[in-house]
């Protein structure tokens, strides 16, 4: 069974993230959305809230699960027997950083491959940070995040 991990902070999960999850779910037998516990990022949602929100929006996918982790991604990948790390790329600027991370992960564990999925062009500008900023100023975030996430963001604000 090919297990893929799609890691990130997902604060909050966006439609761009869901696009990658959808496509990864067709490549891997099982996809684990790995929510990174990184308190230094000062997230809007707690780790538990992010996991719960993601569980709500991935219900249509039988082969997608959500979990959380801290520490090195490659160590977590070993714990869950993942053979693939899935990374979404929006722009060339994402590639340089993600390429370095992929090479480091390969050095640490040559058995785990990293695959890059280019985001759909309609989401290439989208980021969790941008969604939060637009919401904070009262802008419309329809079409950027799923409905349950819109409700959660405005409740949080």
Annotated catalytic, 41? yes
Annotated catalytic, 128? yes
Q: Is 89 annotated as a binding residue?
A: yes
Could you say which of 25, 50, 128, 132 is catalytic? 128
- The pLDDT value recorded for residue 42 is 84
Could you say which of 23, 83, 90, 120 is catalytic? 90
Interval 97-108: pLDDT, tens: 999 999 999 999
**Sorting pLDDT into bands at 50, 70 and 90, what band is 60?**
very high
Q: Is 17 annotated as a binding residue?
A: yes
- Distance, CA of 76 to CA of 105 (rounded, Å): 11
Annotated catalytic, 120? no
The domain ranges of the chain are 3-156
**Residue for token pair 């890059």:** 116
- Residues whose CB is less than 8 angstroms from the CB of residue 146 and which lie 6 or more positions away in sequence, other chains included: 13, 15, 18, 57
- The pLDDT value recorded for residue 91 is 80
Greatest mean pLDDT among 2-16, 83-97, 118-132 lies in 2-16
User: What is the number of alpha carbons within 13 Å of residue 105 lying toward its C-beta?
Assistant: 25
**Sorting pLDDT into bands at 50, 70 and 90, what band is 92?**
confident
**In which order are the strands placed within the sheet that holds 64-69?**
64-69, 30-36, 3-8, 84-89, 113-118
Under 8 Å between Cβ of 150 and 141: yes
Share of the chain above pLDDT 70, in %: 100
- The pLDDT value recorded for residue 157 is 87
3-156 folds as Rossmann fold (3.40.50)
**Sorting pLDDT into bands at 50, 70 and 90, what band is 93?**
confident
Mean pLDDT of the chain: 95
- The pLDDT value recorded for residue 61 is 97
Annotated catalytic, 23? no
């Amino acid at each position: 069974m090919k297990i893929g991990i799609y890691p990130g902070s997902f604060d909050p999960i966006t439609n761009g993230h869901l696009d990658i999850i959808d496509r990864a779910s067709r490549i891997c037998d099982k996809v684990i959305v790995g929510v990174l516990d990184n308190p230094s990022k000062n997230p809007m949602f707690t780790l538990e809230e992010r996991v719960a929100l993601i569980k709500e929006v991935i219900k249509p996918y039988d082969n997608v699960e959500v979990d959380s982790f801290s520490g090195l991604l490659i160590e977590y990948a070993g714990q869950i027997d993942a053979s693939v790390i899935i990374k979404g790329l929006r722009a060339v600027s994402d590639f340089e950083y993600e390429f370095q991370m992929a090479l480091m992960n390969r050095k640490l564990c040559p058995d785990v491959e990293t695959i890059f999925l280019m985001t759909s062009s309609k989401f290439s500008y989208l980021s969790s940070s941008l969604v939060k900023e637009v919401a904070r100023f009262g802008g419309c975030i329809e079409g950027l995040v799923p409905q349950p996430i819109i409700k959660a963001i405005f409740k949080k604000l």
